[in-house]
Structure 1
Amino acid sequence: MNIIIVGCGKVGRSLVEQLSSENHDISIVDPKAYVVQSMVDMYDVFGIVGNGASYNVLTEVGVEEADLLIAVTNSDELNLLCCLIAKKAGKCATIARVSNPVYFDEINFIKEEMGISMIINPELAAASEMSRILRIPTAMEINSFAKGKVELLKFVLRKSSILNGMKMKEIGERMRGEVLVCAVERQKDVFIPSGDFVLQENDRISIVASPRSASKFFQKIGVQMNPVRNVMIVGGSKTAYYLSKKLLRIGISVKIIDKDFDRCEELSVLLPKAVIIHGNGSDQEVLLEEGLLETDAFVALTNFDEENVFLSLFVKGQTPAKLITKVKRVSYNHIIDGLDLGSLIYPEYITAQYIVQYVRAKQNSIGSNIENLYKIVDGKAEALEFHIEEHAPVIGIPLQILPLRDQILICSINRNGTVKIPTGQDMIQVGDTVIVVTTKTGLHDISDILKKE
């Protein structure tokens, strides 16, 4: 696809990195010359220095031939204007980043009236991810497929777990096909495990199951499923606002600590059911005085990665509360991952993932369509949901004799709303949705999971 990306901040850079690796023709627009030059040198893309809302700039970058324009600058209004001009000038599909809560209740109107294909809100996307995690505190990460009927959950294997030292095939026998282990992270390595693969302490394990089966699984392996009743949030950002709205709606108490008095007053009006504290959330005494030791979950949402990391490290030493840590700079993830900071949330990365998912789904595909795509295990693997259409080469063949490529696992088959963890004898049929986990990137069609003759 011919794609134009306006804005080369964290989201734009992540998009360029992911989409250029999938052989799309990428053009970028940014007002900073040094940013454009570094992106051109690093990713071999075409770049223009200028304002993405300028008709002349968009014409120069090839908007008339573009299939898609993605506007992800830090200005909502500029992003919307870029999309409007692109629609008029080139008639391409458009995606806009819009994060101001002022537009929250108007998003559908804006999208329909301006003809925008997709509007993405990084802060809202991050809040949605956090609220899913807090629903099952044991999980570090949760992704949903098949309209919520299937979930992919990641958790850390502790030394005391009955799974420690167990082979994959033994887990299958004990769980009776209700849960499938689809990926294992061990230090810097990622495995799509075979039946003889042995789990070890501190492995980060990703499983596929229905929500009900996942709950049963955690109970069987002795993991406490204590529900979150109250949450302490440090930092009164947009993300904190969106997260609080979601938590309050499901009956979870929320306390927000922020050192900006004006923001505290604003939040008090926006979130009348939340407790808003004016204070320095980085002060350990303030946290303890405000009930840190009694809280079920702690979320570090300041604007500084270092502050969030140190806050979570302190809280980790004080209480077993569920931890969620927001991190902006994805480039440091290899360092931060080793600190055991609970669930790490990268808002810009989540935003890029949603957009890449849209791009994959938009591509023409013979035999099947990608309905969902998630980058998992810190971007080292992907979980894809394919809709199986007529003439797909996987139909009617027992899975055990399908010539699958290496490092590919078929995890789930959803047939008419009934979800099944498949065995070797199961066969895929027309109309099924199938979840595939792989360490190979760039799959566009269900046929891509098969070995090439």
Structure 2
Amino acid sequence: MKIIILGAGQVGGTLAENLAHENNDITIIDINSERLRHLQDKFDLRVVIGHGSYPKILREAGADDADMLVAVTNSDETNMIACQIAYSLFNTPNKIARIRASEYIKETEKLFTYDHIPIDYLISPEQLLIDYIYKLIQYPGALQVVNFASGKVSIVAAQAYYGGSLIGNSLSNLHEHLPNIDTRIAAIFRQDKPIKPQGSTIIKAGDEIFFIVATEHIRATMSELQRLEKPYKRIMIVGGGNVGAGLAKQIEKYYNVKLIERNQERAIELAKLLYDTIVFYGDASDQELLAEEHIEQTDVFIALTNDDEANIMSAMLAKKMGAKKVMVLIQRTAYVDLVQGGVIDIAISPQQATISALLGHVRKADIINVSSLRLRNGVAEAIEAIVHGDKNTSKVVGKKISDIKLPPGTIIGAIVRKDKVIIANNNHIIEQNDHIIMFITDKKYVPEVEKIFQPSPFFL
């Protein structure tokens, strides 16, 4: 696939890294020559220096025959204009844009149509983050929660602790403990090393477990791995930007929410915008403020400012003063694995959420949902594919899972057939129009998985 990426920042660079390893023809455009040089030296891709919305620059990047334009610069306006020009001058078939400003997002249905601004798919990083954090709030104790098949199936990461029924027992005991619930263990990591899940595998405290289950059974399955935490009630948010304010707005009807904002004007504005959230003007690293607001009674403290160091330090202070759980937003991906699992319970990467959404629209075959999952030793991928074709045109239709030659580290975890969730085993037979949920521990095998689920060109 021939793809033009506008913007060589963290999102554009990470996307280029993901796609360059999958035999795509990638060209990346940016005004920062140093960033481009770094990406060109590191990956096999073309670079063009210039403004991504200029017709001349797009033409130089190969827009005449590009399959896709992905506009992820820091400017909403540049991204929108680039999509318009790609449509009007080059008839680019697929156009994706990152739009951050809520003023644009509010008018999505009227603005982003082929009669006005022709964008095929809109990425809103702030809303993606809000949704991601909300799932973590809904399932206390989970490290990651990703939904598939319109929310019917989830892949969940959780750490095994003493108090969980399965600790010290083999995986084969899981069905005995949960006789009416099907679940599939997709991956286990012990001391940063992967362990192949087998019936005889003994679960130990400290193991990080990735499991696939019908969403309604997440909490029951987690209770096997750890003493189930009580639902959160009291939440403190630090940072009243788009993410912090948006999260407060989404949860304030269901939880007791306090929000700390260091900018006085913004704090006053938020106090008017948020009806059930108590807004404070102050610094989250102020011990007196945290003590006055009974930080020791806080179920979860969530630091969401644009400053990684401020987020980390305020969360560490909150934890020391008695907050039961702390989450932090971290822009620099190199920091994420450094801080999570110690004082910091959960580190949240905005790039990870955005890249997952983008990859779902770039993958080949009919792959409709992609999630980039952070593992102890790298990044895995979970994908949802729709099966097309018949026994003559498809490599999977009519076959048992055990007869499908999947790449190493690839597990078919669940099948959604119409409205029915089937937790997969080797004897299940794939049918046309099934939604297949797969877990891939090594991303280099994603192209092979795509080929397996692509019907032959004779399928119509």
Give me the TM-score of the superposition, normalised by structure 1. 0.92
The residue type equivalent to 1:377 in the other structure is R
SS at match of 1:15: helix
Q: Does the 8 Å contact 1:179/1:214 carry over to 2?
A: no
Cα distance per residue 1:87-125 (max 9 Å; x no partner): 112111211111112222112222212110111111111
Q: Does the 8 Å contact 2:158/2:208 carry over to 1?
A: yes
The residue aligned with 1:388 is 387
Q: Name the count of aligned residue pairs.
A: 443
The residue aligned with 2:452 is 448
The residue type equivalent to 1:83 in the other structure is C
Q: Are residues 224 and 159 of structure 1, via their aligned partners in 2, closer, same or farther at CA, if it must alter by over 3 Å?
A: closer
SS at match of 1:140: strand
The residue aligned with 1:411 is 413
User: In the TM superposition, what is the alpha-carbon distance from 1:193 to its structure 2 partner?
Assistant: 1.6
Give unmatched runs, 5+ long, in structure 1.
none
CA distance in 1, matches of 2:299, 2:341: 23
The residue aligned with 2:174 is 171
The residue type equivalent to 2:412 in the other structure is I
Q: Does the 8 Å contact 2:355/2:372 carry over to 1?
A: no
The residue aligned with 2:295 is 292
CA distance in 2, matches of 1:222, 1:39: 42
Q: Are residues 340 and 447 of structure 1, via their aligned partners in 2, closer, same or farther at CA, if it must alter by over 3 Å?
A: farther
CA distance in 2, matches of 1:447, 1:98: 32
Higher alpha-carbon deviation: 372-381 or 345-354? 372-381
Q: Does the 8 Å contact 2:166/2:173 carry over to 1?
A: no
SS at match of 2:276: coil
The residue aligned with 1:439 is 441
Cα distance per residue 1:270-323 (max 9 Å; x no partner): 223321100111222211212211222210112211221222223333335332
The residue aligned with 1:25 is 25
Say if 2:20 is the partner of 1:16: no
Say if 2:260 is the partner of 1:257: yes
User: In the TM superposition, what is the alpha-carbon distance from 1:447 to its structure 2 partner?
Assistant: 5.4
Q: Does the 8 Å contact 1:95/1:118 carry over to 2?
A: yes
The residue aligned with 2:198 is 194
The residue aligned with 1:337 is 340
The residue aligned with 2:221 is 217
SS at match of 2:361: helix
Give the one of 424, 428, 431 matched to 1:429: 431
The residue type equivalent to 1:133 in the other structure is L
Say if 2:314 is the partner of 1:315: no
CA distance in 2, matches of 1:143, 1:309: 24
SS at match of 1:147: coil
CA distance in 2, matches of 1:267, 1:32: 35
Higher relative contact order (CA 8 A, sep 6+): 1
The residue aligned with 1:54 is 54
Q: Does the 8 Å contact 1:192/1:438 carry over to 2?
A: no
CA distance in 1, matches of 2:127, 2:61: 31
Higher alpha-carbon deviation: 344-353 or 212-221? 212-221
CA distance in 1, matches of 2:109, 2:346: 31
Q: Does the 8 Å contact 1:374/1:384 carry over to 2?
A: yes
CA distance in 2, matches of 1:449, 1:175: 32
| Counterparts of residues 363-374 of structure 1 (less than 5 Å) | 363=364, 365=365, 369-374=366-371
Say if 2:248 is the partner of 1:244: yes
Identity of paired residues, percent? 29
User: In the TM superposition, what is the alpha-carbon distance from 1:222 to its structure 2 partner?
Assistant: 5.8
User: In the TM superposition, what is the alpha-carbon distance from 1:147 to its structure 2 partner?
Assistant: 0.7
The residue type equivalent to 1:271 in the other structure is L
CA distance in 2, matches of 1:436, 1:287: 43
Q: Does the 8 Å contact 1:394/1:447 carry over to 2?
A: no
CA distance in 1, matches of 2:96, 2:176: 46
The residue type equivalent to 2:303 in the other structure is A
User: In the TM superposition, what is the alpha-carbon distance from 1:351 to its structure 2 partner?
Assistant: 0.8
Q: Does the 8 Å contact 1:371/1:385 carry over to 2?
A: yes
Q: Are residues 42 and 4 of structure 1, via their aligned partners in 2, closer, same or farther at CA, if it must alter by over 3 Å?
A: same
SS at match of 1:275: strand
Q: Does the 8 Å contact 1:138/1:223 carry over to 2?
A: no
SS at match of 2:340: helix
The residue aligned with 1:85 is 85
Give unmatched runs, 5+ long, in structure 2.
455-460
Tell me how large the CA RMSD over aligned residues is: 2.1
User: In the TM superposition, what is the alpha-carbon distance from 1:398 to its structure 2 partner?
Assistant: 3.1
The residue type equivalent to 1:285 in the other structure is E
The residue aligned with 1:232 is 236
The residue type equivalent to 2:387 in the other structure is I
Give me the TM-score of the superposition, normalised by structure 2. 0.91
User: In the TM superposition, what is the alpha-carbon distance from 1:243 to its structure 2 partner?
Assistant: 0.9
Cα distance per residue 1:4-45 (max 9 Å; x no partner): 111111111111111111121111111111111111111121
Q: Does the 8 Å contact 1:76/1:100 carry over to 2?
A: yes
The residue aligned with 1:109 is 110
Q: Are residues 314 and 449 of structure 1, via their aligned partners in 2, closer, same or farther at CA, if it must alter by over 3 Å?
A: farther
SS at match of 1:331: helix
Q: Are residues 449 and 404 of structure 1, via their aligned partners in 2, closer, same or farther at CA, if it must alter by over 3 Å?
A: farther
User: In the TM superposition, what is the alpha-carbon distance from 1:371 to its structure 2 partner?
Assistant: 1.9
CA distance in 2, matches of 1:59, 1:221: 55
Q: Does the 8 Å contact 1:192/1:409 carry over to 2?
A: no
Higher alpha-carbon deviation: 171-180 or 121-130? 171-180
| Counterparts of residues 60-209 of structure 1 (less than 5 Å) | 60-92=60-92, 93-112=94-113, 113-176=116-179, 178-209=182-213
CA distance in 2, matches of 1:335, 1:449: 37
User: In the TM superposition, what is the alpha-carbon distance from 1:344 to its structure 2 partner?
Assistant: 1.9
Cα distance per residue 1:219-260 (max 9 Å; x no partner): 455632422223100111111111112112x52232110111
Q: Does the 8 Å contact 1:2/1:68 carry over to 2?
A: yes
